[in-house]
Amino acid sequence: MTDAPSYTANEILAVLSARQLKDGQVVFAGIGTPLLAATLAQRLHCPSLTILFEGGVVGAFVEPGKLPPSTNDQRCAKRSNMVLGSADVLLLMQRGYVDVGFMGGAQIDQFGNLNSSFIGDPQAPKVRLPGTGGGNDIASLTNIIVAIKHQKRRFVEKVDFITSPGFVRGGKSRTESGLLRGGVFRVITELGVFGFGEESGRMKVLALNPGVTREEVQDNTGFTLEFDERLETTAPPTTHELETLRLIDPDRLFTA
Is residue 239 pLDDT above 70, yes or no? yes
The per-residue pLDDT of the chain, averaged, comes to 93
Give the per-residue pLDDT at 69: 83
Give the per-residue pLDDT at 3: 66
> Which of 52, 36, 169, 58 has the alpha carbon at shortest distance from 109?
169
Question: Is there a catalytic annotation at residue 232?
Answer: no
The percent of residues in the chain predicted with pLDDT above 70, rounded, is 99
Q: What distance in Å separates the CA atoms of residue 48 and residue 42, rounded to the nearest whole number? A: 7
Q: What distance in Å separates the CA atoms of residue 188 and residue 181, rounded to the nearest whole number? A: 21
- pTM for the predicted model, two decimal places: 0.93
**What is the average per-residue pLDDT within 181-193?**
95
If DSSP codes are grouped into helix, strand and coil, which group holds residue 88? Answer: helix
**What is the average per-residue pLDDT within 186-203?**
96
Give the per-residue pLDDT at 1: 42
Q: How confident is the model at residue 222 (pLDDT cuts 50, 70, 90)?
A: very high
Give the per-residue pLDDT at 122: 85
DSSP 256: -
> 59-62 long-range CB contacts below 8 Å, 24 or more apart?
62/35, 62/248
Of the candidates 11, 54, 190, 241, the residue annotated as catalytic is 54
pLDDT, tens digit (0-9, with 9 covering 90-100), for 39-98: 999 999 999 999 998 888 999 888 888 888 887 787 778 889 999 988 898 899 999 999
Q: Which domains does the chain have, with CATH numbers?
A: 9-248 (3.40.1080.10)
**What is the average per-residue pLDDT within 127-139?**
89
Alpha helices in the chain (DSSP H): 9-19, 33-44, 86-94, 135-141, 173-176, 214-219, 239-248
- E-state strands within 50-176: 50-52, 57-58, 82-83, 100-103, 107-108, 114-115, 118-119, 127-128, 143-147
Is residue 181 pLDDT above 60, yes or no? yes
